[in-house]
Every structure is written in structure tokens, then in C-alpha cells.
A and B are shown apart, each in its own frame.
Chain A
């Protein structure tokens, strides 16, 4: 199952990464992280694009090996992969929000300024990251189970 949605996941992730990186690059005035981030964008983004192109070209064949040529089943499988992709991007956005909140406390406290958030808020951000991770993990396995394992749990018979 994994190979089927890896390509879609990577393309969505790549789009998200580009948008977020350009936003951060545009608004940042943090001199220390600036150059590292710039070189990271320059080196890693073309590499990921090339890899995404390579994976994307195999996507049709992989779908065919998994599902076959049934158009209805292909549609269902694509809905499933899109769900997984949106779940992944949602989790990524949650993590980036949490990173912003933690930076708001720790970075400005180091500089001696008044921090943007209190320590309690920074800790609550980290707890929130863990909880959202658990939430998306549970959702992933729920959908996977509804598609794959619930046959054994609810109907107690073999599919074939």
C-alpha cells in the first residue's frame, strides 16, 4: 500500500515545503539562521524535486500493480491517498506552528528581550505537538483499518 501514495504525498509535501520556506525566507531577519536556511533551500529543494519527478513517473504503474484496471477502485484508492496526503500536511503545519511558538519563547529569552510567550505557553505548545501527532497517527490507522483489517474484526470471514 505504501508505494501507492508515496508519490502523491511527496508532491504535496514538496509544494508545502516550498511555500513555507519562501514565506520564512521572505519575512525573516534572523541573521544567524539566515545563511544556513538559504543554503538548505538551494541544495535540498532541487534534489527533492528531481526525486519527486522520478517517483511520480512510476505512479501509474504502481497503481496498476496494486489495484489493476478497475476505474472505480482506482478512484477509491486515489481518494484514500489524497486523505493520507492532507493528513500529513496538516500534521506538518501543526509542527511548524509549534516551532514558531517555541521560537517565540526561547530565542527572545536568550537575547534578553521580553519573550513573546510565557514558559507555560511554550510547554503547552510542545504538549500540543505530541497530542496532534497522536491524533493524526490514530486517524491514519483508523482509516487503514477500515480499509484493511476491519474485515477480520467485524465480519470474521476471509475476503476471498
Chain B
């Protein structure tokens, strides 16, 4: 899990690098203004969502071993199975 969190750094670094490249070489990218604008916008939204994701991972990691696992692992009784089947219909 921690290795996975460390690997999460690369995407924001990549996006910031590309935005800096676009800002430095404005003449080259001026020809396709719409696409570069789109890339910068999507990059910024992706940055926001990456930080949201990190926040959510911390929140979820705090919830480990609090007893939610049992609900995923429990055996479904026949009574509950009929109830679920009725839910599908």
C-alpha cells in the first residue's frame, strides 16, 4: 500500500512538467491553442482529483481492520439470498 502511494507522485510531476513545457514554448503551441488549453485544463482537473484520491486513500487506510471485512466475507443465508433475488426482479 505504501509503495503504491509513493508511485502516485509521478502523475502530478508529469502534468506539472508538461504545463511548464507548454508555458515555456508558447510560440510552438500557439498554433493549436484549443488543444493546449484543453490539455492544461484536463491536467489541472486531474491534479485536483489526484489529491482528492490521496485524501480518500488516507481516510480508507484509517478504516482498515475496523470490521468492514466481515461483511464482505460473511456467508449469505438462504433467507437473504431469496431477498437479494427478489431485489433483482
Residues of A near any B CB (own CB < 8 A): 1, 19-20, 23-24, 27-29, 58, 61-62, 65-68, 72-73, 76-77, 79-80, 82-83, 86-87, 89-90, 93-94, 96-97, 100-101, 103-104, 108, 113-114, 116, 128, 132, 135, 138-139, 142-143, 146-148, 150-151, 159-160
Contacts and interface: CB of A to CB of B under 8 A. Distances in A.
A86 B70 contact: no
B77 to A, nearest CB: 12
Contact of B73 (A27, A104, A148): A148
Given A61-B87, A93-B46, 12 more contacts: A27-B34, A27-B38, A65-B84, A67-B71, A90-B50, A97-B46, A101-B39, A116-B32, A146-B1, A146-B64, A147-B68, A159-B73
Nearest to A82: B56
Contact of B63 (A68, A80, A100, A135): A80
Interface size class of B (residues with CB under 8 A): 35 or more
Interface string B15-46: 10000000000000101101111110111011
Contacts, number: 117
Chain B binding surface, main DSSP class: helix
A132 B83 CA distance: 39
Contacts of B8: 135
B60 A100 contact: no
B46 A135 contact: no
A18 to B, nearest CB: 13
Nearest to B70: A159
B67 interface: yes
Contacts of A1: 72
B11 A132 contact: yes
B34 A93 contact: no
Contacts of B83: 65
Interchain residue pairs A-B with the least CB separation, the first 9: A93-B46, A83-B56, A148-B72, A86-B53, A159-B70, A76-B68, A27-B34, A83-B60, A100-B39
A77 B68 contact: yes
